[in-house]
């Protein structure tokens, strides 16, 4: 029961990230950099406190996959945070949650898994749901909603890549795996920010600093810790079902807290998209969840 509570709390934390990304007045690249930097320090403290060790032989063996996963993580965060800035939290979250569909579509090619008829139908239904969401955005007269959804879909592509690459990482537990990926992400994002815009922070306000600290500590630190602490005691199907708390939290925050509008067509699209993924993931073999 304790592990389930930990995992649910982590999903709520992840679902609330859009509020911070939308209102922090610096670029998406810098947000991703500070998030990963603070997350590294927090998880490193946890790693040392729990006296865990990492086999450098395993790191060397997984070097290529860890590098690819870190690149995917960087792209995922940059485009996701930009999606939140361009469109509503609900639209960004829903377009981003197309990632599991992309994983299902790419699994036969990358992982040599069979695509069942049920999953093929679910992909079709998810595409219809995404069409409804995009169609609703195209009717908006203000903002850059279609652009935001596009960024969300690109972020979903990076996240799908992160998920698929993770399948090739062996002999590294979840905490060590994430700590290494975050560390590499700090290096890559530092280079990206330096080349694209530099590190000028003269216009950063006190409120921005506070929100960055909250985002880094709560999302990058506590969220990841609760995520890994929770999933150790859950089977794969429970994790798949509880993961829906993430996009649902985003939807509730968008509509009830922020006051963003959600049309009937967009609601239907959300139900089709999330429902199809739910059905597509149901019936999987029970067992402990593995991050590699």
DSSP string, 36-95: HHHHHHHHHHHHHHTT----HHHHHHTHHHHHHHHHHHHHHHHHHHHHHHHS-HHHHHHH
The answer, yes or no, to whether residue 192 has pLDDT greater than 90, is yes
Cα separation, 66 vs 132, in Å, equals 36
Continuous H helices in the chain: 2-15, 17-23, 28-49, 56-61, 63-86, 89-96, 99-110, 117-138, 145-166, 174-196, 206-214, 224-231, 236-242, 245-252, 264-281
pLDDT at site 283: 54
What global pTM score does this model have?
Answer: 0.84
| Apex 135 CA angle, 134 and 141, nearest 5 | 95
pLDDT at site 247: 83
Tell me the pLDDT of the chain averaged across its residues: 83
Cα separation, 245 vs 18, in Å, equals 14
The residues facing 235 across adjacent strands are: 288
Min mean pLDDT across 50-54, 69-73, 193-197 is at: 50-54
Cα separation, 83 vs 132, in Å, equals 18
pLDDT at site 74: 95
Contact (CB, 8 A) for 123 and 105: yes
Q: Which pLDDT tens digit goes with each residue over 125-175?
A: 888 888 888 776 555 544 578 888 999 999 999 988 988 888 888 888 778
List the end-to-end C-alpha distance of the chain, in Å, as a whole number.
Answer: 24
In the structure, what pLDDT confidence band is assigned to residue 289 with cuts at 50, 70 and 90? very low
Q: Which pLDDT tens digit goes with each residue over 104-120?
A: 888 888 878 787 888 88
The answer, yes or no, to whether residue 210 has pLDDT greater than 90, is no
pLDDT at site 123: 85
Q: Which pLDDT tens digit goes with each residue over 254-272?
A: 888 888 877 888 888 888 8
pLDDT at site 119: 80
């Amino acid at each position: 029961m304790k592990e389930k509570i930990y995992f649910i709390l982590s999903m709520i934390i992840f679902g609330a990230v859009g509020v911070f990304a939308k209102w922090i007045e610096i670029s998406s690249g810098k947000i991703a950099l500070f998030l990963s930097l603070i997350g590294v320090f927090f998880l490193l403290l946890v790693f040392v406190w729990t006296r865990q060790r990492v086999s450098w032989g395993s790191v060397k063996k997984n070097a290529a996959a860890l590098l690819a996963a870190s690149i995917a993580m960087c792209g995922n965060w940059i485009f996701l945070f930009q999606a939140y800035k361009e469109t509503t939290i609900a639209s960004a979250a829903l377009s981003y949650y197309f990632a599991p569909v992309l994983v299902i579509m790419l699994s036969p090619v990358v992982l040599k898994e069979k695509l069942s008829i049920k999953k093929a139908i679910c992909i079709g239904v998810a595409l219809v749901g995404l069409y409804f969401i995009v169609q609703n955005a195209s009717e908006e007269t203000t903002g850059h909603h279609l652009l935001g959804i596009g960024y969300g879909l690109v972020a979903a592509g990076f996240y799908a890549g992160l998920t698929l690459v993770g399948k090739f990482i062996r002999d590294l537990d979840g905490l060590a795996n994430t700590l290494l990926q975050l560390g590499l992400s700090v290096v890559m994002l530092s280079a990206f920010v330096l080349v694209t815009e530099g590190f000028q922070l003269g216009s950063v306000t006190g409120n921005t600093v506070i929100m960055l600290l909250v985002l880094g500590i709560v999302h990058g630190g506590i969220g990841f810790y609760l995520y890994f602490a929770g999933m150790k005691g859950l089977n794969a199907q429970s994790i798949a079902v509880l993961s829906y708390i993430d996009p649902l939290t985003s939807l509730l925050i968008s509509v009830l807290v922020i006051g963003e509008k959600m049309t009937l067509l967009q609601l239907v699209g959300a139900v089709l998209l999330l429902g199809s993924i739910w059905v597509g993931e149901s019936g999987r073999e029970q067992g402990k969840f593995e991050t590699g």
